Amino acid sequence: MINLEENNIYFYFNKNKLIQNFNDFSKLGNIYYPLKTNSNEVIIKILQPLIEKGNNGYLISSIYHFEILKSANVNPLKMCFINVLAEDNTVKYLYDNGVRFFTFDNLNTVIEFSKYADLSKVKIAIRLATTQVFNDKFTHLGADFEECLKIFSFLKNYKCNDYGISFYIQNNLKTEDNVLEKILQYIQEKYNNLKINFISIGGLKQSKEISKDLLENLKNELQIRQIILEVGRHLVEDTIEMETRIIREKTINNKKTVIIKNGIYSGFFDILLYNKKFSIYLKSKNDGEIKVEYEKSEVNDYEFFMCGGSSDSGDKIGLMYINSKYKNELKAGAKFIVKGVGAYFEEFFMPYSNDLKKIFIEE
């Protein structure tokens, strides 16, 4: 396929920041990096020697993720398959190709797995439903306490000695107070005598907001060997910035509208999923980076619409505001920097945007 200069999208990658983030989380436990966060080979290349050093690994959700790591010469024993909704043939394919760490959330899939897998030589995480702790917060993933007990009993009977609990702090729990503490307290009360070997935690905050003492106390109380941190967003999000530009400007109903190269089909999909507000800055000709706001910060701020360049009528970034001093810079060719796009952003480049070529520049 032809590559046109006008379709180049530039990403600025801070390698040292990624290494620093990894080292900060490593002080709290072992890191398993989920490829669904960002599966770009640039990220994997930097993480690979860090992950190889200790009892760390990768979380894969598909055969596609497995193949990415395989092409990077990652040992399958460093991989954990976390998609509890995967069908049996996918699980079997990964087992047949050397993966030995799996996550399940119901007994039937474990029974099916046991028909071909030697349970004495695998590591199994049972995904806990966080509704057991927050029963007003819906999630379709995870097992309740009774189901967990059935699975643990089955595993013991089939000589599986390496099993534990995993859970994910999903988006609708982010506003709750002391979420991690409450879930860990629940596990400590309910699973204290089940001889679990590890706990795997996803959806964590930044490393500086996590108490090492909390994790160590849990480890000691349950006498478990390992704390696994499923770190994605806060490992890579702040390591990458993207440069995009205005490709067209219009006046619609007397309001300025700028169309940028990227949109919901090329990275901004979280706007639809979670109403995310991206950090966007205009690259001013003379004054450096100027913050673009989603709300007025000054009475005289200039108001304009920002839309994506996919030609889909729903491709809207939002109603934006900028200091009026810079309104005349909002012209075709003007550049924006979008900060904190290391997590999920690149994974949401869809076939609609296959013409775009991603170019990574290491800072």
Strands (E), the chain: 8-13, 30-34, 57-60, 79-81, 101-104, 123-127, 163-168, 198-202, 226-230, 240-252, 255-260, 279-284, 288-292, 302-308, 316-322, 335-339, 357-362
Helix, strand or coil, per DSSP, at residue 123: strand
Burial of 62 (0-12, 13-18, 19+ CB in 10 A): middle
Instruction: Name the more confident of 216 and 352.
Output: 216
Burial of 213 (0-12, 13-18, 19+ CB in 10 A): exposed
pLDDT bucket at 311, cuts 50 / 70 / 90? confident
CB 346 within 8 Å of CB 267: yes
What are the φ/ψ torsions at residue 353 (nearest 5 degrees)?
-110, 25
pLDDT, position 274: 83
Residue 1: pLDDT over 70: no
H or E stretch covering 70: helix 63-71
Q: Could you read off the pLDDT of 43-72 as tens digits, one per residue?
A: 999 999 999 998 999 999 999 999 999 999
DSSP 151-218: HHHHHHHTT---EEEEEE--GGGTTSTTHHHHHHHHHHHHSTTS---EEEEES---GGGS-HHHHHHH
pLDDT, position 5: 86
Nearest to 35 by CA among 79, 92, 76: 79
- What integer best gives the mean pLDDT of the chain? 94
Q: Could you read off the pLDDT of 197-247 as tens digits, one per residue?
A: 999 999 999 999 999 999 999 999 999 999 999 999 999 999 999 999 999
Q: Could you read off the pLDDT of 94-131 as tens digits, one per residue?
A: 999 999 999 999 999 999 999 999 999 999 999 999 99
| End-to-end CA, the chain | 29
pLDDT, position 351: 81
Task: Give the pairing type, strands 279-284 and 335-339.
Answer: antiparallel
How far, in Å, are 106, 113, 340 from residue 96 at the CA level?
A: 21, 11, 38
Between CA 177 and CA 183 the distance in angstroms is 11
Q: Could you read off the pLDDT of 69-86 as tens digits, one per residue?
A: 999 999 999 999 999 999
Domains and CATH numbers, the chain: 15-234 (3.20.20.10), 237-362 (2.40.37.10)
CB 294 within 8 Å of CB 321: yes
What are the φ/ψ torsions at residue 177 (nearest 5 degrees)?
-85, 140
CB 305 within 8 Å of CB 319: yes
Nearest to 124 by CA among 154, 144, 97, 96: 154
266-294 residues labelled b (16+ CB within 10 A) or e (exposed): bbbbbbeeeeeebebbbebeeeeebebee
Helix, strand or coil, per DSSP, at residue 271: helix
